[in-house]
Structure 1
Amino acid sequence: MVSQVSYVLSDNVENLSLGTSGALSGAGNALANKIVGNPGVNVLDGRGGADTLTGGGGNDTFVFHAGETQGDQVVDFTGAGAAVGDALAFYGFGSGAKLSQIGTTDSYTITADAAHGGASETFQLVGVTNFDLLTGTNHNDVMLFA
């Protein structure tokens, strides 16, 4: 499916590519989706399933929600410009959420605090270097990568 506007995949559709170069959002469904952004600034949200998210050339945001436990893969962190980059956004994990690296790989797990059901989401960042420090608060934090 190629869309020229922001789009949410309907049931039983697995792939979404955002066309044009404008700032668009793309969201998946419960299936294992492949969502590809465009050269603009995109917000990509897999929404369940083991999703593969590819942003493109813009400063994109990849969204993760508590309770999505299939494991997502973010394929790029290119961003536009030296002082800016792509971002990860985590929602519903609570103030005691923890982000943990799995071994020496590019795989990470974010785990919600007990008050939010202890849900966890595992995701993989492919080709990321200099991923040194993450600092969060008890609000909906966005993690930026340059």
Structure 2
Amino acid sequence: MTRKRTRKRRNKGTARLKKQWVTLVTLALVACLAWFNGDYKLGDWTSIFNGSSSQGVDHTLIFPSERYPETANHIRSAVKAGHSDVCTIDRDGAEANRDLSLKGVPVKKGKDRDEWPMAMCAEGGANADIQYITPKDNRGAGSWVGNQLSTYPNGTRVKFVVE
């Protein structure tokens, strides 16, 4: 009889522990969802880990992939690799960011070194993603972005969405 009682007590203890664990996990999940304050869609976990979100964004820029396909592919792949899709405009830091991001990346004849995040973004600089692309695509895209963002002051947060 003693063994049966011990087993029942053990089973009750295990069941209680499982119930407490489930409650704890549920509370943690609810707390996480509350923390993100609804800016993240349920199931869109990649945006949480790669730093992209619509939280605190001042403007959304739809980037035309049909006009600048190489640059668009670079932005997509860099964001997929974990770089932010949000650019905080910092024109004053562009030269220093460019120097940091392109350091050690050799020049190739007939190609431009495209960087993401861009040098004009506070998120740019060291550890930026660099790809070689044609000068026409890179410079056209840079000019287009510059024109689109010309009226926005430093500190403006712009989310890039590639069509």
Indicate whether the TM-score tops 0.5.
no
Give 1 or 2: higher helix fraction.
2
Q: Give the TM-score normalised by the residue count of structure 1.
A: 0.28
Report which structure shows greater RCO (CA 8 Å, sep ≥6).
2
Q: Give the TM-score normalised by the residue count of structure 2.
A: 0.26
